[in-house]
Amino acid sequence: MHRRTFLTSATLPFVVPAADRLFSATPLQTPAPLKPARLQPGDTVGLVTPATATYQQEELDIARESLEGLGLKVAIGQHVRDRHGSLGGRDTDRAADLNGFFGDRNIKAILPTRGGWGTARLLPLLDFDVIRRNPKILMGFSDITALLNGIHARTGLVTFHGPNAGGRWDGFSVDYVRRILFGGESVTFENPKTTSDRNVLTQVENRIRVITPGQATGRLLGGNLTVLTAILGSPYVPNFDDSILFLEDVGEDWYRVDRMMTSLKLAGILPKIRGFIFGTCSECGPGEGFASLTPEEIFKDHIAPLGVPAWSGAMIGHGHAQWTLPVGARVSIDTSTGTVRMLEAAVS
């Protein structure tokens, strides 16, 4: 899967609230934490397309069947197969699917079919009062970063950076989804420590690289670097005071990653954090015609001077197994082991 992947579902008719359409970019205070109810077998989840269009019926079928494989029922959003250019329908229609599912008490979770681009366009159209009154599980990654952080910033709802419905459902990823969303466990996330046929002598894949050693505790925030920087200055960016920031990306030249890390610094986010985790940057390279900084040099320039515990190589990103991270929940990190320990359950 490529950047920003998510899900789709049947929605109720909805009128977009005028009050939430325009805001100043004044930094928000952190709302009181709000946790969704855990999933139960037989619960109904809503499938939506808040970003790039779901072009083929087979793609939608795979997303639906994957959720059914978790023992869930699936409601398909009214506008899931819509198209408006590359987007999965017009902004008002995609937002109506989301608002409708949040307002429907029979829907217990909402997932996207895929990511891509377009989710940030929906943020001014969401009814945050409805979302606040009806907390439920929202999970996805990549372009869905805009929803995960925007909804948490405005309502305090803990959201989940994890598989999109039409994405990868390998055993590693499914295990974390089951333990966190169904079991309500406070898990410790860690990379598998195994060798492979490629090298039976030492671990080659899923290695961690310490940037600054140490341990730290804070509220977990972050997601896709490109999407997060695209909403800077808006009222949909959480308060990063004393947070643990996690990032990942895909298909970006390293000079662009450097540019975006600079944006986070200039926006005052990096100086606020207590810890830093970088996952993967799949399909990233130096860029044609550029003498690029390496990833290690970028982190040395932007992260090491902060003096906070930090490492890279976490199971966060595109194209491989991934953790289900609770955005907005308190965690403790340890760079010596490359682990993230949840200090509380993320569901009620």
Alpha-carbon distances of 257 from 3, 130, 314, rounded to whole Å? 14, 36, 17
Determine the number of helices (DSSP H) and then strands (DSSP E) in the chain. Answer: 8, 15
Look-up: residue for tokens 């100043």?
A: 24
Residue 175 CB neighbour total at 10 angstroms: 13
Q: Is 297 annotated as catalytic?
A: no
Is residue 161 annotated as part of the catalytic site, yes or no? Answer: no
Q: How far is CA 287 from CA 147, 173, 291, 295, in A?
A: 29, 31, 8, 13
For residues 252 and 228, the answer to whether their CB atoms sit within 8 Å is no
State yes or no: is 248 an active-site residue.
Answer: yes
Among the options 9, 142, 173, 292, which is catalytic?
A: 142
Burial of 164: CB neighbours in 10 Å, binned 0-12, 13-18, 19+: buried
User: What six digits make up the tokens of 127?
Assistant: 């009814």
Task: Say if CB 100 and CB 11 are below 8 A apart.
Answer: yes
In angstroms, the CA 101 to CA 77 distance is: 8
90-123 CB burial, b ≥16 within 10 A, e <16:
ebebbbbbbbbbbbbeebbbbbbbbbbbbbbbbb
User: What is the 8-class DSSP label of residue 19?
Assistant: G
- In the set 9, 173, 248, 302, the catalytic residue is 248
Secondary structure of residue 40 in the 3-state scheme: coil
Containing 174, the helix (H) or strand (E) segment is: helix 171-177
- DSSP state, residue 30: P
Phi-psi region of 156 (alpha: psi -120 to 50; beta: other; left: phi over 0): left
By annotation, the residues acting in catalysis are 142, 248, 318
